[in-house]
Amino acid sequence: MSKKDNWIAGINAVASALEHDVENVREVLIEGGAKNARLTEIEETARRRDVSVRRIPLQSLEGIVGALRHQGVIARYEAAKPTDESELPGLVEAAGGKALVLVLDGVQDPHNLGACLRSAAAAGVTAVVIPKDKAAPINATVRKTSAGAADRIPVVSVTNLARTLRALQKMGVWIYGLDGEATQAIHGIDFTGNVAIVMGGEGEGMRRLTREHCDGLVKIPMPGEMESLNVSVATGVALFEVVRQRGAKA
């Protein structure tokens, strides 16, 4: 098995890989004897697309993916090459003045990263930018949690996040970082043009250099007693504020 191979687990993740990235699916393994319409559909899709399918015992499935919830199906997947940073200008230009870039500065929990990618796909983001260091890799847990979103949207892994933010600004993208200490509420910003939303990692938030490269800092108003939101929840709130504004201006 290639070192680049990974295992995708779960019905939605495997179905999405077969639909959106079938050339990188090497094999599908399904729990033997399991009777489930979705599993049957996955098996038929895989065979139709010339992907090897095997029925194996439940114990064997669990031996491969461990504690990861598999729902009776896993797929051996050759991890696709991430979108190269050089492709980012083209993605922004193709958005026609409506680019929406999500920047995740050091989200290290794969469940949080997967949930952020899922929200990003639902909001129709142009690209997601993550640093190569101090960030969760796109692994089986991320793919599972993202419900296939990791296969649908460009994820750009960059060596120098500050440099990438400067490059985005030169492309005409306004960059706003979410910070609980900011004085400006997120609802007071015009997000109808090219924008990037920057989210900090769990616990520490944005790094200093990242914060310094933002055009503005905004916060999500929280009248309740909690001081902060989980990064994936905050990401969803921020992205859909952009969606709300753009829908209202359509």
Tell me the per-residue pLDDT of 71-90, one tens digit each, with 9 for 90 and over: 999 998 876 567 899 999 99
CATH number of the domain at 5-78, out of 3.30.1330.30, 3.10.450.50, 3.30.450.20, 1.10.10.10?
3.30.1330.30
Give the pLDDT of residue 2.
41
The band of 242, judged by pLDDT with boundaries at 50, 70 and 90, is very high
DSSP 8-class letter at 193: S
Task: Tell me whether strands 25-31 and 73-78 are parallel, antiparallel or unpaired.
Answer: antiparallel
Instruction: Output b/e per residue, 100-122; b: 16+ Cβ within 10 A.
Output: bbbbbbbbbbbbbbbbbbbbbbe
Nearest in space to 190 (alpha carbons), one of 169, 214, 216: 216
DSSP 8-class letter at 83: B
pLDDT higher than threshold 60 for residue 66? yes
Give the pLDDT of residue 80.
59
Residue 134 or residue 116, greater confidence: 116
* Distance (Å) of CA 249 to CA 80, 85, 167, 243, 246: 36, 31, 27, 10, 5
Domain boundaries, the chain: 5-78, 85-249
Q: What's the predicted TM-score (pTM) here?
A: 0.77
CA-atom Rg of the chain in angstroms? 19
What's the CA gap between 19 and 21, in Å, rounded? 6
What CATH number has the domain spanning 85-249?
3.40.1280.10
